[in-house]
């Protein structure tokens, strides 16, 4: 039994409670969608495949037809939170009659359970739960991060309402939200995107030498990891590490990095962009690297673009990006190195999905960016 199954057995009573619909996709992600507050609960279900998006769109009708549910692998079950967790959430939100929906996380070493807290079709907040010590430390770090960001005037991120032990080794992180059922979940508005990032980077800006930054440390770690990991075209990575170190060597201003700034970790409410899930936050990184993560992850997972289209579309955005940073091509390289470091450092190796992204996207983009640099030098 893996740790998520064990955690589910301790948190959920599957014999009593309200009616839920269990959805599991092909990569092992799992959701429990409440029948009582289905329209709001479906906000937790964020599929990336065309089939999944169709299921979400027509789910209120599909859920009523038993043989259709069975064909799609959707189970109708009863579910109730254990009393300790229910009491804690009630006390935090001063609400004894809340509803909820559940996402059991994506497969990986940092997999956790996330519960969306709902009352009268309004989202009150989110509760993340783990029984893993390593994820407990991540929760504690995110608590500090959110406090820090609010202290410097960044308010378009959640507030931590509780961070601590529930019972035995079950650790809980509860946060606020301004998200509603009418919030826009996938920001396609570049003006709002850049407005958030400009505010985030300006307010978190700090003065320091490059060798004192989180980014410099991560590049040193990546260099060490490459000596022990057998990755195709590691020579391309080492060349890029050398280039970014030279470029940033005399820079003195660095900013915060969300670490997983994507459409599924952001939403728009009242014409403002809000971000959450800052578990992989870094305090001193080159500014605006989050933009490149948002762009690349959206292109790869949502739009299903191939490497050529990702690169060619990026080139059309260079002039706009230059309003914020002077060398978009090099910053894109810096981002690619950061995401490769993240997965290697966190997991020790690439899983099959990340290996495919490494081979199909990241290395190819680095090579194309190098070729672009060579063209400019020749020109």
Query: Which CATH number is 273's domain given?
Result: 3.90.1200
Q: What is the pLDDT of residue 299?
A: 93
Q: What is the pLDDT of residue 1?
A: 46
Return the H-helix or E-strand segment holding 239: helix 234-248
Q: Residue 10 pLDDT > 60, yes or no?
A: yes
Helix axes 289-297, 190-203, angle to 10 degrees: 150
Q: Same domain for 137 and 194?
A: no
Please give the average per-residue pLDDT across 325-347, as a whole number: 93
Confidence band (pLDDT; 50, 70, 90) for 298?
Answer: very high
- Highest mean pLDDT (candidates 23-32, 38-47, 289-298): 289-298
Please give the average per-residue pLDDT across 293-306, as a whole number: 91
Residue ending a domain, choose from 148, 176, 204:
176
Q: What is the dihedral of CA 300, 304, 307, 309, to 10 degrees?
A: -120
- Let me know if 199 is exposed, middle or buried by CB neighbors in 10 A (0-12, 13-18, 19+): middle
pLDDT digits (tens, 9 = 90+) for 115-143: 999 998 899 999 999 999 999 999 999 99
Determine contact, residues 161/251, Cβ cutoff 8 Å.
Answer: no
Q: Residue 375 pLDDT > 70, yes or no?
A: no
Name the residue range of residue 70's domain: 3-176
Confidence band (pLDDT; 50, 70, 90) for 288?
Answer: very high
Q: Give the number of domains in the chain.
A: 2
Please give the average per-residue pLDDT across 26-41, as a whole number: 92
CA neighbor of 345 nearest in space, from 217, 245, 209: 217
Q: Same domain for 59 and 208?
A: no
Determine contact, residues 294/263, Cβ cutoff 8 Å.
Answer: yes
- Let me know if 326 is exposed, middle or buried by CB neighbors in 10 A (0-12, 13-18, 19+): exposed
Q: Residue 347 pLDDT > 80, yes or no?
A: no
Cα separation, 203 vs 283, in Å, equals 12
Q: Same domain for 171 and 201?
A: no
More confidently predicted of 205 and 45: 205
More confidently predicted of 276 and 26: 276
Q: 3-class DSSP state for residue 279?
A: coil
Confidence band (pLDDT; 50, 70, 90) for 152?
Answer: very high
Cα separation, 275 vs 261, in Å, equals 7
Q: What is the pLDDT of residue 9?
A: 92
Question: Considering the chain, what is the average pLDDT of its residues?
Answer: 92
Please give the average per-residue pLDDT across 159-181, as a whole number: 93
- Asked if residue 25 is part of any domain, the answer here is yes
- Asked if residue 181 is part of any domain, the answer here is no
Q: Same domain for 172 and 203?
A: no
Confidence band (pLDDT; 50, 70, 90) for 348?
Answer: low
- Asked if residue 184 is part of any domain, the answer here is no
Confidence band (pLDDT; 50, 70, 90) for 374?
Answer: low
pLDDT digits (tens, 9 = 90+) for 55-109: 999 999 999 999 999 999 999 999 999 999 999 999 999 999 999 999 999 888 8
Alpha helix stretches (DSSP H) within 111-187: 133-151
Q: Same domain for 201 and 119?
A: no
Q: Same domain for 223 and 324?
A: yes
Q: What is the pLDDT of residue 350?
A: 67
Q: What is the pLDDT of residue 28?
A: 87
Q: Residue 379 pLDDT > 60, yes or no?
A: no
Q: Residue 378 pLDDT > 70, yes or no?
A: no
């Amino acid at each position: 039994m893996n740790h998520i199954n064990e955690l589910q057995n301790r948190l959920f009573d599957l014999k009593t409670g309200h009616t839920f619909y269990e959805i599991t996709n092909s990569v092992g992600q799992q959701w429990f969608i409440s029948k009582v507050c289905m329209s709001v609960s479906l906000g937790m279900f964020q599929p990336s495949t065309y089939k999944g998006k169709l299921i979400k769109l027509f789910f209120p009708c599909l859920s009523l037809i038993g043989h259709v549910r069975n064909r799609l692998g959707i189970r109708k079950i009863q579910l109730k939170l254990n009393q300790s967790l229910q009491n804690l959430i009630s006390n935090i939100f001063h609400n004894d009659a809340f509803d909820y929906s559940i996402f059991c996380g994506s497969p990986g070493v940092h997999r956790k359970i996330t519960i969306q807290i709902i009352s009268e079709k309004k989202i009150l907040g989110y509760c993340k739960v783990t029984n893993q010590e390593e994820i407990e430390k991540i929760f504690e770090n995110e608590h500090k991060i959110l406090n820090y960001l609010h202290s410097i005037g960044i308010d378009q991120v959640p507030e931590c309402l509780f961070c601590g032990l529930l019972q035995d080794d079950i650790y809980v992180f509860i946060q606020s939200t301004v998200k509603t059922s009418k919030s826009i979940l996938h920001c396609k508005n570049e003006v709002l995107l850049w407005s958030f990032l400009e505010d985030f980077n300006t307010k978190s800006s700090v003065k320091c030498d490059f060798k004192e930054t989180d980014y410099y440390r991560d590049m040193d770690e990546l260099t060490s990891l490459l000596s022990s990991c057998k990755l195709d075209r590691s020579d391309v990575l080492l060349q890029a590490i050398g280039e970014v170190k030279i470029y940033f060597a005399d820079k003195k201003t660095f900013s915060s990095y969300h670490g997983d700034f994507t459409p599924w970790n952001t939403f728009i409410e009242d014409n403002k962009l809000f971000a959450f899930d800052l578990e992989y936050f870094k305090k001193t990184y080159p500014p605006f690297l989050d933009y490149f993560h948002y762009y690349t992850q959206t292109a790869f997972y949502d739009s299903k673009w191939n490497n050529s289209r990702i690169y060619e579309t990026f080139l059309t955005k260079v002039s706009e990006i230059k309003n914020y940073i002077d060398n978009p091509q090099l910053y894109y390289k810096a981002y690619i190195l950061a995401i490769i470091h993240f997965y290697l450092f966190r997991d020790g190796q690439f899983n099959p999905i990340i290996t495919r992204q490494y081979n199909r996207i990241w290395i190819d983009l680095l090579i194309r960016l190098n070729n672009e640099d060579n063209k400019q030098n020749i020109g």
